[in-house]
Amino acid sequence: MAMLGSDPQDMAELISKLATAIDQIQSAMGTLDSKAQSVRWEGPDAKRFKGSQWPQSKQQLNRVVADLNEVKVLVTRQKSEQENASA
């Protein structure tokens, strides 16, 4: 018979990996944002990059972070439900 449910220990590891990935993306984004704002670069390419390209990239990265947070919340809830069902 196939097992239904999940291994809470495996889920805890997944939650930890998701949290680490979120932190790494946010940290990298902060570092890149700081440098993008302070880089000595003038001209139309710089204006386009600083005015639209980089902000669009930040928006996409923020969406990735939000999506990963949603997954983390879902996995955390499922882990809790599995532990309660197994108790």
Q: What does 68-84 look like in DSSP terms, one character per residue?
A: HHHHHHHHHHHHHHHHH
Name 55's Cβ contacts closer than 8 Å, sequence gap at least 6.
none
Q: Is the pLDDT of residue 66 over 60?
A: yes
pLDDT score recorded for residue 1 = 45
Calculate the average pLDDT of the chain.
Answer: 92
Percent of residues, the chain, with pLDDT higher than 90 = 83
Q: What is the mean pLDDT of residues 5-19?
A: 93
pLDDT score recorded for residue 4 = 63
Task: Let me know how long the chain is.
Answer: 87
CA distances from 8 to 12, 27, 50, 73, 79 (A): 6, 28, 44, 14, 5
pLDDT score recorded for residue 33 = 95
